[in-house]
Amino acid sequence: MQRRHFLKSGALAGGALLFAKGLGFAAPADSRIEVLLDEPIGTISPNLYGQFIEHLGGVIYDGVWVGERSKIPNVGGVRKQLVEKLRTIQMPVVRWPGGCFADSYDWRDGVGELSKRPARTNFWLDNPDANWKQLAGNAVQHYESNAFGTDEFMRFCRLAGAQPYLAANLRSLPALNFDRWVEYCNSPAGSTSLAQQRAANGSRDPYDVRFWGIGNESWGCGGDLTPEQYASEFRRFTSWVPSYGANLAFVGSGPSDNDLDWTNRFFEHIFRDRPDTDVSPNFFGWSVHHYSWNLSRGRTQDWQTGKGDALNFDVTDWYELFRQGNDVEQIITDQWEAMGSYDKDHRVKLVVDEYGPWYRPGTALDPTHLFGQQVSLRDAILTAFTLDIFNRNAEKVGMAANAQLVNCLNSLFFAHEDKFVVTPNFYVFQMYAAHQGAQAVRAESSAPEITYMRDGKTARMWGLRGSASRKGNVLTLTVVNPSADATREAAVVLRGARASSATATVLTSSDLHAHNTLENQAFPEPKTASVSVSQPVLSFTFPRASVTKLRIELS
Ligand code: AHR
């Protein structure tokens, strides 16, 4: 079964590996990274570091929302530990309420007095992985209580310091309902009936929501539309929407993976069918969803049988996941080129608002956590190099959202009842936060290629890659060494600036399968150490299976 069809139906290693010395004393370098400070790529939008939360399994209920009367420490119903951790990674933007859920959601159900809010069927009720029998008949995972709605979401955003990114229902509600949601969120205090309703619900001032997704996966769970049908709907939903002074930014439902047919036909319709009309200046982004799921080594494209396990993997599976993740760069390149043949000035940016690994069920921390899966060192490496891809394409990618923040696919946190733990991905976002808002500059790496056996045939994988950005006199260079066994002795060369001091933060583990559970925080925290600098080259040993951030002060 194809994914599209599925949706239609239903540290320091060993304490000694990290070191840095003047070039004259280092072991001979096998790798080289050149940072070209005079070759800017673009500003890295902080919004590349966004997250996604959906009414799915344990993401909202149990993950984000515990309720105001809960004994679990909370701030106005939002899990307190989550908020505290999110502040340390500077989460810039968060996408809600879906995902597929968005196209079955009526925002009006989730506002007003709690006791009067209706219970509704959750989109994911019939999902084959939902493990229906294990849950109580009226579990919130199946019958949405609407306890967490627009006002609670805005509270969460404010607590976390993030901007909201709302996904509108295009499949099952008319455009007027979308207009009204914008009105509820953005109309000035005291102006409309909805502004008064919002005030009665706790917020006199408008929420000034800028980012709006126009449906989700409209080629699948968002309506099974053709690109032409979706383009017509997109036009209706985005024309003449009152802005209330907010600089609205609409995100179109783009392709699954690298579906160029979807993109070409949509853009053709939007940009060429009515040359007399202007394309909405608020058409900000074109979403891309990419999951790294097929670990079958090329044997099948079947969505169910092609998946691997989150924890039970061998070295081939290790590289196969990365092979899938590498596609993100090609997708960005190809989609950008396709969009450019219609949108010549590239007004519309790419929005990668769902990405991460997707394994077969079996490692969720609780049966209510639909699509819950473990997060190991392997996933942290995948996440890190995906963020590096975004940084390297900073002029093309305007926003991104990791799927999903808590208790789901590529989570940063696991939470169940009063237990809470970070995953290795949390550390990656913490390390990479330094790139937010910085100027991306070119960084070219060369390192011995990795080879591994893929069903009797040799397969290849790059040896060392990363991204670089400059903010004032600080250069941040993040680098992934994906090798399961080889350290890399690298010469890091700066062109166009001199380093005065540097520190290195390294995330790795002696165990490729290292991960945390609610009971055992076994994954080692990243370790930071200073690096001695000698001009014009920094020598650095990148441990095997590691993510490194070099923070270099420029003189
Ligand atoms: O992230 C889980 C689901 O994957 C989302 O709801 C959907 O958009 C995608 O197919």
Q: How far is the CA of 99 from the centre of ligand 1 (A)?
A: 5
Mutate to test the pocket of ligand 1, among 129, 144, 219, 221 (most ligand atoms within 8 A of CB): 221
Q: How far is the CA of 20 from the centre of ligand 1 (A)?
A: 43
Q: How far is the CA of 100 from the centre of ligand 1 (A)?
A: 6
Q: What is the DSSP string of 404-433?
A: -SBSSSS-SEEEETTEEEE-HHHHHHHHHG
User: What is residue 134's predicted lDDT score, i.e. its pLDDT?
Assistant: 64
Mutate to test the pocket of ligand 1, among 216, 369, 373, 407 (most ligand atoms within 8 A of CB): 216
Quick check: CB of 411 below 6 Å from ligand 1?
no
Quick check: CB of 54 below 6 Å from ligand 1?
yes
Indicate which residue's Cα is closest to atom 7 of ligand 1: 99
Query: Which of 546, 379, 344, 405 is CA-nearest to residue 464?
Result: 546
Quick check: CB of 404 below 6 Å from ligand 1?
yes
User: What is residue 132's predicted lDDT score, i.e. its pLDDT?
Assistant: 61
The number of beta carbons lying within 10 Å of the beta carbon of residue 240 is 9
User: What is residue 142's predicted lDDT score, i.e. its pLDDT?
Assistant: 87
How do the pLDDT tens digits run along the chain, 555 residues long? Answer: 565 554 543 333 222 233 333 333 445 799 999 999 999 999 999 999 999 999 999 999 999 999 999 999 999 999 999 999 999 999 999 999 999 999 999 999 999 999 999 999 999 988 877 766 666 667 888 899 999 999 999 999 999 999 999 999 999 999 999 999 999 999 999 999 999 999 999 999 999 999 999 999 999 999 999 999 999 999 999 999 999 999 999 999 999 999 999 999 999 999 988 777 777 889 999 999 999 999 999 999 999 999 999 999 999 999 999 999 999 999 999 999 999 999 999 999 999 999 999 999 999 999 899 999 999 999 999 999 999 999 999 999 999 999 999 999 999 999 999 999 999 999 999 999 999 999 999 999 999 999 999 989 999 999 999 999 999 999 999 999 999 999 999 999 999 999 999 999 999 999 999 999 999 999 999 999 999 888 778 999 999 999 999 999 999
Quick check: CB of 213 below 6 Å from ligand 1?
no
Quick check: CB of 379 below 6 Å from ligand 1?
no
Quick check: CB of 50 below 6 Å from ligand 1?
no
- What residues form DSSP beta bridges with 351? 287, 399
User: What is residue 138's predicted lDDT score, i.e. its pLDDT?
Assistant: 76
Q: How far is the CA of 237 from the centre of ligand 1 (A)?
A: 22
Quick check: CB of 217 below 6 Å from ligand 1?
yes
Indicate which residue's Cα is closest to atom 6 of ligand 1: 99
Kindly give the number of the ligand 1 atom that is closest to the alpha carbon of 98.
6
C-alpha to C-alpha distances, 360 to 128, 133, 276, 292, 418, nearest whole angstrom: 12, 19, 49, 12, 27
Kindly give the number of the ligand 1 atom that is closest to the alpha carbon of 371.
2
Indicate which residue's Cα is closest to atom 1 of ligand 1: 403
Quick check: CB of 44 below 6 Å from ligand 1?
no
Please say whether the beta carbons of 230 and 266 come within 8 A.
Answer: yes
User: What is residue 245's predicted lDDT score, i.e. its pLDDT?
Assistant: 93
Mutate to test the pocket of ligand 1, among 123, 144, 288, 354 (most ligand atoms within 8 A of CB): 354
Residue with tokens 């790139």: 435
User: What is residue 534's predicted lDDT score, i.e. its pLDDT?
Assistant: 81
User: What is residue 10's predicted lDDT score, i.e. its pLDDT?
Assistant: 35
Please say whether the beta carbons of 171 and 218 come within 8 A.
Answer: yes
Q: Which amino acid is at 302?
A: D
Quick check: CB of 98 below 6 Å from ligand 1?
yes
pTM (two decimals): 0.95
User: What is residue 139's predicted lDDT score, i.e. its pLDDT?
Assistant: 83
User: What is residue 248's predicted lDDT score, i.e. its pLDDT?
Assistant: 97
Residue with tokens 């392709």: 255
User: What is residue 281's predicted lDDT score, i.e. its pLDDT?
Assistant: 86
Beta-sheet pairing, 93-96 with 163-168: parallel
User: What is residue 236's predicted lDDT score, i.e. its pLDDT?
Assistant: 95
User: What is residue 310's predicted lDDT score, i.e. its pLDDT?
Assistant: 98
Query: Which of 498, 395, 506 is CA-nearest to residue 442?
Result: 395
